[in-house]
Structure formats: C-alpha cells, structure tokens
Amino acid sequence: CLSRQEVHPAENMELDDTYENIDRPRGDREKQENVMSEQDVQSADPVRGKCPPLVISILLGLSILLSVVILGTAIILFILWSTQLTAIENKFQQEISSIKRNGSECRHCAAGWIHFHGKCYHFSQSLLNWYEANLNCFSKRAYLIVINTALEQKFMADNIMRQPHWIGLSDLTVEGRWKWVDGTDIKATNK
C-alpha cells in the first residue's frame, strides 16, 4: 500500500480522471480528502490527545509514593551511618584513654623484641647461665622477666620454643627465699 504522499501527482491525476465520482465534483472531493487526512493525523498523534484524569492521578500518586520511599530510605541509611560512626568514635576514644593510662603501649620495641601487653620481650638464642643472662639483660637496659599474670606466663610458654630460658627469679639474698629481680616477693605475684 502507498500513502497519499507517496503517490506522484501525475499518477494521482490519472486515477482521479479515470475514476470520477459523479455525485461529487472534483473540488469537493479534494477538500474532503484534506480534512480527513488532518483528522487522521490528529487522532494518531498521542501527544495531542488528552490523558484521562484517573491516569494522571495514578501517575502523580505513584510519583509521590516513590519520593516518600526514596526519602525514607535515605533517612534510614543516614541513621545507620550515624550510629556506626558514633560506635567507631566511642571505640576510638576508649583506645585513646587506654593509651593515655598505659603510656607504654605507645612505645615501639627494638628489632628482635616482641611487644605484648605494653611490654617488650627478647628471647635470646644464646646459651648463658643465670648470671650471664641477667647481665645481658642489664646491658640492654632490661631485666629477666618477672611473671605477674597467668596471661604473661602463657605468653612466655608459647614463645620459648622448647629452648631453656631464664626468668628473673632467684634466692641470691637468702637461700630458699625466692624473689623476683625487681625486688618483689614471689608470694606477692603468685595469685
């Protein structure tokens, strides 16, 4: 099928001349065809047609509902983010307070030393007697370990790796009376 615009004027004239309508003169026929083609174009164009109020109301309602859902989601996400941020800030403040109370946690251990609960530990590979080990620690501005807690004792046991190591316990001053190298009595730490 060809539309009216695709037919060449010369061909259109021939057809019009061949098939004349007796009841309608030629001028009226062209006028009616022009009116029909404009009406056809108007009814085929959806932009020019009117939307029913119900459709507009539904679309408006859906738009408002979608806006409320988006706003609600944004508010919930902001509250969650704010709560997490507050928790992180509180944890950070607790860590700062802990560091201020235990300034030793800020210190770094020298190479070859292990940091554990605010103290630095060195596990020597040298086989020394107790006196030599004590002097070796003293030369490093340290002392043989004084075990104060079960946690510290477990740390020591986990790190000696089946090699003998000396601890800072002796009975040098009074035979049979054991004291730590820092001067505390063994009974004071044996809890």
Averaged pLDDT, 121-142: 88
- pTM comes to 0.41
**Residue range of the domain that includes 85:** 53-101
Contact (Cβ atoms closer than 8 angstroms) between residue 170 and residue 177: no
Task: Note whether 124 and 84 are same-domain residues.
Answer: no
Residues 128 and 162 in one domain: yes
152-166: per-residue pLDDT in tens?
888 888 888 777 888
pLDDT number for residue 27? 59
Task: Clarify whether residues 171 and 119 are in a common domain.
Answer: yes
Do 119 and 184 belong together in one domain? yes
Give pLDDT, residue 184.
84
Domain count, the chain: 3
Do residue 63 and residue 32 come from a single domain? Answer: no
The pLDDT tens digits for 7-31 are: 455 555 555 555 555 555 555 555 5
63 in any annotated domain = yes
Angle, CA of 35, 41 and 58, to the nearest 5°: 130
